Amino acid sequence: MAITVQSTTIYPCKGLQGIPRNSIMINPSYGIIGDRTFAFAKPVNKTDEKVYSAGWQRKGAFFVAMNTPEMAAIQIPQIPDGEEITEELLWRLVTNLDLPIGTKLLDYRDAAFNLTDTDPAETPTVSLLNAASLRSLGGQMGTSVDFRRFRMNIVVDGLAAWQELDWAQEFDARNPMGTQNAEISIGEVRFKVFDACERCKAIEANPETGERDGSLLSHLSVRSGHAGYESPQRNRGDVMGVLLKPLNSGRIYVGDKLVICQ
């Protein structure tokens, strides 16, 4: 069975819902063009302002679904390729969140990096979700699991459940690009698998209601038959999906084939 791309999604603003696309543009020094280029930064004191002016920060520095679950239900209107999302629109979308005085909307559209959870200055990444793994998790829980909870850029089908985690098991944090991690190609873009994708409380924010529900994190940690599949960087078991380091530029389309390189 062929492994094919089922969906591609960009997340223009960190924490808010993504925008489905028919294709996404990959840049090896940036990641996905248009992905996580905005973020609502928490208020900081004067001595901390230089931290934000320096650029990339971990997600705890921002209002995101992990700490503000209501954001998971806020949908950015579908905007055609080539048109820009405005700061005015984003502020209007979060009006009801009652964000504190001092919150800043950071705009990195012209920067050399985006605001993904992995520092793109070190390793630009693209996230990939295996639809079979999601179905396996749902079967364990006795319910279907909405793929939007995981906020991944690419969803593929045709793999065995959890097969993608095999690709990331040889990671060496001291020399990440010198390991035997798998390489894959999707359409015209080749990737090296960087790591399994650790999950946080953001996945327990319902994308329909913006409320926390369920116990996805605990189910990921104890899923039957896969106790050895962990994030090699930090030995975490609550993982879903993988992070990919792009090796060349190119566009990925819905329907493209994924090939495991030898």
Identify the CATH number of the domain in which residue 217 sits: 2.40.33.20
Task: State residue 253's pLDDT score.
Answer: 98
Distances (CA, A) of 145 to 18, 83, 132, 141: 17, 32, 11, 9
Residue type, position 124, single letter: P
Domain range for 87 is 4-260
pLDDT score of 213 more than 70? yes
Among the residue ranges 86-90, 100-104, 113-117, 230-234, the one predicted with the least confidence is 230-234
Tally of structural domains, the chain: 1
- pLDDT band for position 223 (cuts 50, 70, 90): low
Tokens 């405005």 label which residue? 86
Model pTM? 0.89
More confident residue, 226 or 243: 243
Average the pLDDT over 177-199 and give the result.
Answer: 85
* Element spanning 239, H or E: strand 239-246
List, in order, residues 6 or more apart from 36 with CB less than 8 Å away.
Answer: 11, 12, 13, 14, 114, 115, 116
Average pLDDT over residues 18-27: 95
Determine the pLDDT at residue 234.
Answer: 52
Residue 140 has pLDDT above 80, yes or no: yes
Q: Which amino acid is at 11?
A: Y
User: Can you tell me whether residue 122 is helix, strand or coil?
Assistant: coil
The rounded mean pLDDT for the chain is 85
Q: Other CB atoms closer than 10 Å to residue 68's CB: what's the count?
A: 20
Residue 7, SS3 per DSSP: strand
- Measured between alpha carbons, how far is 168 from 117 in angstroms, rounded to an integer? 17
**Which is more confidently placed, 181 or 91?**
91
Which residue type occupies 7?
A: S
Q: How far apart are CA 168 and CA 101, in angstroms?
A: 42
Task: Give the model's pLDDT for residue 12.
Answer: 94
- Looking at residue 81, its pLDDT comes to 66
User: What's the chain's Rg over C-alpha atoms?
Assistant: 18
Say if CB 189 and CB 246 are below 8 A apart.
Answer: yes
pLDDT value of residue 161: 92
pLDDT of residue 228: 47
